[in-house]
Amino acid sequence: MKIPFLDIAAQQAEIADEVLPVWRAQFEAAAFVGGPEVEAFEREYAAYIGVDHCVGVGNGTDALELALRAVGVGQGDEVILPVNTFIATAEAVTHAGATPVLVDVDEEHLLIDPAAVEAAVTARTRAIIPVHLYGQTAPVEALAPIAARHGLVIVEDAAQSQGASSPAGRAGGLGRVAATSFYPGKNLGAAGDAGAVLTSDPAVADFVRNFAAHGSSVKYVHDRAGMNSRLDAVQAPVLRAKLRRLDGWNTARRAAAARYAELLGDLEGVRLPATRPGNEDVWHLYVVQLEERERVLAGLAAEGVGAAIHYPTPIHLTAAYESLGYRAGQFPVAEAAALRILSLPMFPHLSAEQQGRVAEALESCIRAAPKPGLAAPATLNGRSAKGGAIR
């Protein structure tokens, strides 16, 4: 039995009967930009998150850049973000003209560390980006007092958290503005690239709509040099159909996470993910930690089990951000985790039988004798990294 890491085809098959007639009508009308489907999705997703405005854009990276620009982030500013996020979080800061300031994460959940954020604030800091990693909700409630003390804006990166919540509300509605991605592999995924900016601030929403349409709110009248980033009309019916199923699919993910916890709970050498108190995670990814990760990953592939690493290299160790001047060892928690994290198959249609096979394969790979060439100490971009014990 081969187990895919992700099964997007199953989701597409479930919504096909709803989406194909809408697509046919759009093609017949040649209505591909804007229109009622986009407007309906924006209303529906804003209501789902609990904000007043949703502005659909071309992708999640654009959404984050637009969110930053909308709250005034620009040249000379600094923006604090976790070092273990996807590079797009840092790219959006760079594209807005500001400087990414990286901080470490907590050991248990690998989410941005509020104490590290406080220590990183300078006179140039303008915003904080909490990343709701792996389908969790980052500790925005602990960041809010820091932001208030220093006059900073919280800009959520909610690309992995559609439907996740904390006692304060849903991810995407906890700061002044949030950005999300609807890349096909997300919990709420389009049939291509798509994203959105979420806010209850009408001025922020107006700015994003204007800037994303070449700085224009009236055709051929341009208030500023903007960009071109719009949610395609053909993506909107896909997102609407999936939004109607999102809570059910997230419930299925939670059931799968609970099943993994039961199957893997006694497996020595594997550290299972934990949920922050009060959070309701949506398990975009199910990430365990273990030693000899590369050997285990190769073994799973040989057994026909899809697995992945999110993410193998912290941002400060990428060539793209060497110029920031950080050094190996500066973010010990994220660096140690980067050598151990392994994402197991996780998607709404994952069956109990498939999960049983994943658990069997993982146990087999962990207990197998190391093979030549696969048991060498792991490194990050050629740099060694140390870490504590796995429990």
The residues assigned a catalytic role are 186
State the helix-helix crossing angle for 60-70 and 87-95, rounded to 10 degrees: 40
**Cβ(335)–Cβ(110) under 8 Å?**
no
- Classify 67 as helix, strand or coil: helix
**Cβ(216)–Cβ(222) under 8 Å?**
yes
49, 100, 102, 139, 140 from 112: Cα distances, Å: 22, 14, 10, 7, 9
String of DSSP letters for 210-257: HHTBTTEEETTEESS---B---BTTTHHHHHHHHHHHHHHHHHHHHHH
Token representation of residue 36: 């009622």
**Measured distance CA(240)–CA(246) in Å, rounded:** 10
- C-alpha closest to that of 385 among 343, 342, 327: 327
**Measured distance CA(78)–CA(213) in Å, rounded:** 26
Find the Cα–Cα–Cα–Cα dihedral 224, 225, 227, 230, rounded to 10°: 30
